[in-house]
Each structure stands twice: as C-alpha cells, then as structure tokens.
Amino acid sequence: MGIKELQKEIRKLLKEKNAILLVHNYQRPEIQDIADLTGDSLGLSIEASKTKAEIIVFCGVHFMAETASIVCPDKTVLLPVISAGCPMADMITAQSLVKKKRDLPGVPVVSYVNSPASVKAESDICCTSANAIQVVKSLGDYDTILMTPDRNLALYTQRYTNKKVVYWEGFCPYHDRLIVKQVRKVKNDHPKALFLAHPECRPEVIDLADEVKSTSGMLDYVRKAKHTEFIIGTETGIIHTLKTQNPDKVFIPADEKMICIDMKKINLTDIVNALLYISPVIKVAEDIRVRAMRAVERMLALPRD
C-alpha cells in the first residue's frame, strides 16, 4: 500500500480498536499528519492521562510509552517499534541514581521524563523541557537539587533559579552536536532570522539564541510571532509541523544533521501491524509504576503556564 492507503487503514483501525494515536513532534511527517494529537513529552503525557480510549498507540520512543503506561495502567500502550529508544535515557540507571542519592542525602531528585521508568521511581518529581524551571522553583524549601539525566537542561534551568543544581553527565547526542561555529554560520547566512534553541542544547549555543523553547514552546512562539524567518535549533522533525501551521513563514534547520534515528524508526506499516496484532505492548511493572507515578503526578499537578 502507498502512503495514503496506509494512512486511511490506520485511521480505520484506530476507530475499530477504540485507540488513540499520540505522536511526538519529531516523528515522520506522514505519521504526524494522521495523529489524534502531536506534541512534546508534557503535552502527550497529559493527553495520555485523560484519554478515554482503550488503546494508546504511542509514536515516540520507549520512555514516552513507559510514561503513558505509568499514568494509564488500565490502558494498553503500544510502541510500534520496540527498539525505538533514547540514547540519553540509556545514560542513567536506577542503580546508579541510588548510589548518587547516597552521596547527596536529603537532596531532591528532579528527573527529566527522558529517563527510564525505574529512574522515575527513584525520583521526587519529573520535569520536561517545557516545565523544568517551574518544577525546580516549586521545590522552594531546598537550596540544592539533583537533575537527571540531561546536563544541558540542568545548566539551563540553573540560570533561572536561585538553587544549586547538581547535574548528571547525560546529554542528547543530537542536540549536543549543535556547536557555536555551525550556529554562527547559519545566522550569518540568514541575518534576519531569529534563532530558537532547545534547552537540551549546549550552554554556549543557548547564549546565541534569541529564544529558548521546548518544542511546544517553539510552535506557540512562532504562531504568535510577527517575525517570518526562524532558525530552528532542535530535531528537524518539528519543521514539518512549523511549516504546516505557518505556511507563510520560513524555517531553517540550525543543523540538518540533527535527526534522531530512534524517532524515525516508526513507519506507517509498523503502526498498522501494531493495531492489527496489538503488539508490542509496553507495560511497566506495578511496583515501579506506583513509585514512578508519584514523581509524574507531582509534575502534572503543577499549573501550566
């Protein structure tokens, strides 16, 4: 079947199975186009927590499907390609976090949702790139916090709080690859463009940004902006949505090689097969889920800006 036929088949199966298709902003364009919802980690987590569908088809990576399983234990959560992982999430384990916590007694742990369920279970609260500053500020009684696993997000967050942020030595390989030399070249080639950077970028790249936004933040900012030309400092998949929502505006990738291989693993045929066979299912063990849920619930309980 061609793309249109596969898309039509997926929408038919979703209806038949009482399923919802949640798609991250970095997924393939043809998948974004048929989503019930596209969004970032926070938006998709919230949607997963309130859906009435019996089946959640999560087009993202493993930790995202795990988060859906954590907040929706009574739902069937499908990740069409089980090997779609996250290099940054693999840079931390529950065992290594427990060891670090022993070295920092009494220090609360803020874990990026880009982490395994077992790590969330050892954390006090979760955060996303959209709400990390708000989450850290909510821990008002503590002078020091530990943020895992992304050092760049931690360093960015520390700029806007009065707390000492101890960070894990993890990073997103695709955001971390964006360097000052490349940004300056693109800015020089497009002098009228505003540079929007993701908080997962290096601090020296953040310093060059006109705005620092999560993926949902970028979409919102561009939609409201009078400016018409933007350099996008995040995974290139978001440019499809930006162009779709803003056909009169111009978007330039800060680095065309900022492509997350894992985010691109899922294709339309994989989604069809997942719905036909109700597999692969992502299910977090109940003892881990209950503990991880506390950290996720604390995050979701915070008011959204």
Report the chain (305 residues): mean pLDDT per 10 consecutive residues.
96 98 97 94 81 96 95 95 98 98 98 97 96 94 96 97 96 98 98 98 99 95 98 98 97 98 98 98 98 94 77
Query: In whole numbers, what is the pLDDT of the chain averaged over residues?
Result: 96
Q: For residues 136 and 120, what is the distance between their CA atoms, to the nearest angstrom?
A: 16
Task: Give the model's pLDDT for residue 49.
Answer: 83
Task: Give the model's pLDDT for residue 236.
Answer: 97
Q: For residues 173 and 58, what is the distance between their CA atoms, to the nearest angstrom?
A: 22
Task: Give the model's pLDDT for residue 271.
Answer: 99
DSSP state of 281: B
Q: For residues 114 and 132, what is the distance between their CA atoms, to the nearest angstrom?
A: 12
Calculate Rg over the CA atoms of the chain. 19
Q: DSSP characters for 28-79?
A: -HHHHTT-SEEE-HHHHHHHHHH---SEEEEES-HHHHHHHHHH-TTSEEE-
Task: Give the model's pLDDT for residue 45.
Answer: 76
Q: Which domains does the chain have, with CATH numbers?
A: 3-85+263-284 (3.40.50.10800), 89-171+288-301 (3.40.50.10800), 178-257 (3.40.50.10800)
Task: Give the model's pLDDT for residue 47.
Answer: 85
Cβ neighbours around 174 below 10 Å, total: 24
Task: Give the model's pLDDT for residue 141.
Answer: 87
Q: Is the dihedral of CA 79, 85, 88, 92 positive or negative?
A: positive
Task: Give the model's pLDDT for residue 46.
Answer: 81
Integer angstrom CA distances of residue 153 from 14, 203, 214, 268: 36, 9, 11, 32
Task: Give the model's pLDDT for residue 305.
Answer: 57
